[in-house]
Amino acid sequence: MPVPDVALDRSSPVPLYYQVATRLEQLIDEGELPAGSRLENEIELADRLGVSRPTMRRAIQYLVERGLLVRKRGVGTQVVHPKVRRPVELTSLYDDLAKSGQDPRTEVRSLVSEPLSDHVAGLMGLAPGTPATRIERLRYAAGEPLALMTNIVPADVLELSVEALTDHGLYDLLRAAGRVPRMARQVVGARAATPAEARLLGEPAGTAVLTMTRTAWDAGGQAVEYGSHIYRASRYSFELTLTSA
Amino acid sequence: MPVPDVALDRSSPVPLYYQVATRLEQLIDEGELPAGSRLENEIELADRLGVSRPTMRRAIQYLVERGLLVRKRGVGTQVVHPKVRRPVELTSLYDDLAKSGQDPRTEVRSLVSEPLSDHVAGLMGLAPGTPATRIERLRYAAGEPLALMTNIVPADVLELSVEALTDHGLYDLLRAAGRVPRMARQVVGARAATPAEARLLGEPAGTAVLTMTRTAWDAGGQAVEYGSHIYRASRYSFELTLTSA
DNA sequence: CCGGGTACTTTGTTAGGACAAAGTGTTGAC
DNA sequence: GTCAACACTTTGTCCTAACAAAGTACCCGG
């Protein structure tokens, strides 16, 4: 399959390889390059687009990593069937809801300063007793309670306030403070809700709820957040896309 | 922090950049390059190890993607705190259990040939009515029931037998058939177990169970498996490590 | 003492070239 | 006719080289 010509802007601050990759992705999404079709070889492609082979390879590599293309030595580069292809991302519930038009709302139920417990300190890799803020929030989507969230943030990471948390997700605030979570370890499980939890979530006592605990670190490997959340299983589930090798 | 000299084998079929990356990872794991320490700049490093800068960059890039290093333009390359750094992987329950010495055992409860339902066909991107095999298995770990698993595999992907499934995980069989799952979409939720499910899992009726449905594709984008599993929440949870950007 | 601009350091991007390794297909010997 | 060796295609690895962009630190003028 011949790849249509691509207009590149060499004066743009956007890297060339990224311009090429984006354009290719667009062509695949639009069906211009149908699933299973083979691209021309790298050299021809690079030639025709007017970039060097390393740049062309980098663009292709980017799409291979994202699962849109498959390469085989001696064979060529093929378009993969256009299934879901976004890898798991580290996003916040608030962002997810806002993006899908669920009109998220947050009720901050409590916000207290307290030192880290041994358990949480261990998970975060910090010293027990480190000053921190503990918040408990109830998240609504489309007017319905969706999740009960307890989070703990070390005091030196971020100064939290009820007002800020009402209008923004915790991850927004962390981003604004320059402490972007870059790695997180999550454990997802299930259990029966306690009577108090069931009441807050508007579910009958003993309902099955989805639980998630998470520890998140920033780029420097510093723990920035610990969270223990429970979700209404009737209204929420985790969706993830995994890739191997 | 000076990186100790690294012995490279230029006659080895193992790529140079990979030799360098592996050695660096080892140094980090051993604490030779402590968390937070800064590496020399790329040029010096490349010089001293006797490789070109692109090769050096590629080795570093590899470790950056795996979360061991962080780079900042104008600043340098730093070792990240050695938290968990394995990204989410596409593994099978059987492998996971076997690796952690849980002595997995599988009871194949049924194995029937039946055409794909509209629902499953839609998820797998195949035509409704495509011949397939539907299996229901009960997975034990350490002598206790752990999961009830229903899987559907298209007939042209793999010929299944009760014997093979008793001794191996489904993913083992797929691998052996050259249909390695490379991408999967999972949805994890929770609900109350039905009486029949509760009985099989050895839990009281109405217990909260963890549910997982998954569709997996091979490198060519062909759907190879659909699964609908329920897990005893008291004995199992999903653990995942996420990275962003 | 403070602020801004400048020099320097370090990673990011791009180019062009060379050879190696893996698949595929074809041809030739038996 | 069959199978092995060879040629060809295509991606994989590696090198040298140059300039751009971002961040830091220093210095100098006010």
Residues B113 and B224 in one domain: yes
| Interval A96-108: pLDDT, tens | 666 666 678 889 9
pLDDT of A14 strictly over 90? no
Task: Give the chain B residue nearest A70 (alpha carbons).
Answer: B219
- Residue numbers in chain B where pLDDT is lower than 50: 84-87
Give the mean model confidence (pLDDT) for residues A207-230: 88
Phi, psi for A17 (deg, rounded to 5): -60, -35
Q: Which domain holds residue A168?
A: 84-239
Closest chain A residue to B86 measured between Cα atoms? A185
**Could you tell me if residue A11 is inside a domain?**
no
Contacts A182 to B, Cβ<8 Å: 67, 243-245
Cβ within 7 Å of nucleic strand D, residues: A 13, 39, 41-43, 54, 57, 71-77; B 15-18, 50-55, 58, 72-75
pLDDT in the model for residue A84 = 46
Report yes or no: A43 at the B interface, CB cutoff 8 Å. Answer: no
Residues 136-195 of B with CB under 8 A from A: 180-192
Closest CA to A233 of A208, A199, A214: A208
- The pLDDT score that the predictor gives to residue A213 is 92
- Indicate whether B50 and B93 sit together in one domain: no
Pairwise CA distance, residues A86 & A66, whole Å? 7
- Are B242 and A88 in contact (CB < 8 Å)? yes
The first and second tokens of residue A93, run together, are: 């519930």
Distance from CA of A165 to the nearest CA of B (A): 22
Residues with CB under 7 A from strand C: A 15-18, 50-55, 58, 72-75; B 13, 39, 41-43, 53-54, 57, 71-77
Position A230 in a domain: yes
Residue of A nearest to B216 (CA): A242
CB-proximal positions of chain C, under 7 Å: 9-18, 21-24
- Beta strand B181-192 with A69-72 is unpaired
**Residue in B83, B184, B242 closest to A186 by CB:** B242
Q: Is residue B156 located within the same domain as residue B211?
A: yes
Residue-wise pLDDT tens digits, A150-198 = 999 998 888 888 888 888 888 888 877 778 787 788 888 999 999 999 9
Given B26, B53, B79, the domain boundary residue is: B79
The number of distinct structural domains making up chain B is 2
pLDDT value for B84: 46
CATH of residue A33's domain is: 1.10.10.10
Burial class (CB within 10 angstroms; exposed 0-12, middle 13-18, buried 19+) of B172: middle
Residue B90: CB atoms within 10 A of its CB come to: 18
The residues, ordered by sequence, that sit 6+ positions from A140 with a Cβ below 8 Å of its Cβ are A104, A105, A106, A107, A146
> Is the domain of A60 the same as that of A115?
no
Q: Could you report how far apart the first and last alpha carbons of chain B are, in Å?
A: 27
Span A70-94, pLDDT tens digits? 888 888 898 886 654 444 555 666 6
In a shared domain, residues B226 and B146: yes
3-state SS, residue B89: coil
- CATH of residue B116's domain is 3.40.1410.10
Nearest CA in chain B to A189: B237
Using the structure, give the distance in angstroms from the CA atom of A242 to the C1' atom of D6, rounded to a whole number.
42
Measure in Å the smallest separation between the Cα of A111 and chain B Cα atoms: 27
Q: Is residue B2 part of a domain?
A: no
Question: Do residues B217 and B148 share a domain?
Answer: yes
The residues in B 62-81 lying below 8 A from A, measured between CB atoms, are 67, 70, 78, 80-81
Task: Judge whether B244 lies within some domain.
Answer: no
Which of B57, B222, B242, B243 is the mutation pick for testing A, counting most A CBs within 10 A? B242
Could you count the other beta carbons within 10 Å of the beta carbon of residue A116? 23
Same domain, B153 and B229: yes
The residue from A59, A79, A99 where one domain ends is A79
- Å between B178 CA and D6 C1'? 29
Tell me: do B160 and B187 sit in the same domain.
yes
Tens digits of residue pLDDT in A32-69:
888 778 888 999 899 888 899 999 999 999 998 887 88
Is residue A3 one of the residues assigned to a domain? no
Nearest-Cα residue of chain B relative to residue A92: B244
Are A110 and A187 part of one and the same domain?
A: yes
pLDDT at A104: 80
Q: How far apart are the first and last CA of chain A?
A: 27
The CA distance from A30 to A68, in Å, is 13
User: Given A55, A79, A103, which residue is the final one in a domain?
Assistant: A79
Q: Are residues A145 and A58 in the same domain?
A: no
Output A83 or A232, whichever has higher pLDDT: A232
Q: Straight-line distance from CA B125 to C1' C11, in Å? A: 43
The spacing between the Cα labelled CA in A237 and the C1' in D2, in angstroms, equals 59
Asked whether residue A114 is domain-assigned, the answer is: yes
**Of the partner residues A80, A89, A188, the one whose CB lies closest to the CB of residue B221:** A80
- Percentage of residues in chain A having pLDDT higher than 90: 38
Residue A199 has pLDDT above 60, yes or no: yes
Pair (B173, B130) in one structural domain: yes
3-state DSSP of chain A: CCCCCCCCCCCCCCCHHHHHHHHHHHHHHCCCCCCCCECCCHHHHHHHHCCCHHHHHHHHHHHHHCCCEEEECCCEEEECCCCCCCCCCCCCHHHHHHHCCCCCEEEEEEEEEEECCHHHHHHHCCCCCCEEEEEEEEEEECCEEEEEEEEEEECCCCCCCHHHHHHCCHHHHHHHCCCCEEEEEEEEEEEECCHHHHHHHCCCCCCEEEEEEEEEEECCCCEEEEEEEEEECCCCCEEEEEECC
Q: Is B98 in the same domain as B65? A: no
Interface test with A, best of B83, B201, B213 (most A CBs within 10 A): B83
* Residue B67 within a domain: yes
HSE toward the beta carbon, residue A241, CA cutoff 13 A: 11
Could you tell me if residue A35 is inside a domain?
Answer: yes
Contact predicate B187/A242, CB 8 Å:
no
Query: Taking residues A16-28, what's their average pLDDT?
Result: 91
